[in-house]
Amino acid sequence: MKTLDFSKSLILAAIAVSVLVWSPAQADSGPRSDRERIQTVIIGKFASEMDLSPEQAEQFFPRLRQYQDRLEEIQRGERATRAEMDQLSRTPAADKEQLQGLLSERRRLDNEAAVLKQEFLGGISGFLTPQQVSRCSILLDELPQKVRQFIHEKEREKSRPGTTHQRRSQADPTPRRRGR
């Protein structure tokens, strides 16, 4: 049973890596950008928590990637609208019509994100079980918080050089030999 689980994990990992490798070029440079690391964590989380078969994974991950790409476009619009609202809040003679337009745009983007999620979940329900679709929905809800947490941890590691080494040394006080 454990051998089957291990084999399944290897297959899912191979599929996940192929999704990353064959996805459109990333905006970030470098062989392992933060975006790629986040994508790897996301794929691993979905694969392990949804218990996908290899066949399901082949269908699921490209659709997840398309959903995420489209959601990123919507989120860029939300950030731009929020920035405009922030600027408007600092303007002494703010225009009410401009505010109403920005509020309408935020509502439209929120609705667009909700419709996108509903379409994504409806699309994957054709090849996933109801339990898997339900778990996927929960993971999508948790995803922004988990990504922020991951980024925060990485920033903390970068701001404290040697922290990882110190933790390792504290956990295992035996000296490390070089060259072995």
Sequence spans of domains, the chain: 8-21+33-156
Which alpha helices (H) appear in 51-94, and where do they start and end?
54-89
Q: What is the pLDDT of residue 40?
A: 85
> What residue has token string 């993971």?
139
In this predicted structure, the answer to whether residue 58 has a pLDDT above a threshold of 90 is yes
Q: Which residue has better confidence, 175 or 55?
A: 55
Contacts of 115-120 with C-beta under 8 Å, sequence gap 24+, read 116/67, 116/70, 116/71, 116/74, 117/67, 117/71, 120/63, 120/64, 120/67
Q: For helices 34-50 and 2-22, give the axis angle rounded to 10 degrees.
A: 140
Please state, as a whole number, how many other Cβ atoms lie within 10 Å of the Cβ of residue 39.
Answer: 20
> What residue has token string 């790629």?
36
Are the CB atoms for 28 and 34 separated by under 8 Å? Answer: yes
pLDDT (average), residues 35-44: 83
Please count the CA atoms within 13 angstroms of the CA of 161 that sit on its side-chain side.
0
pLDDT tens digit sequence for 71-97? 999 999 999 999 999 999 998 888 899
Average pLDDT for the chain: 79
Q: Which helix (H) or strand (E) holds 143?
A: helix 130-159
pLDDT (average), residues 138-153: 88
Which band of pLDDT confidence, cut at 50, 70 and 90, is reported for residue 24? Answer: very low
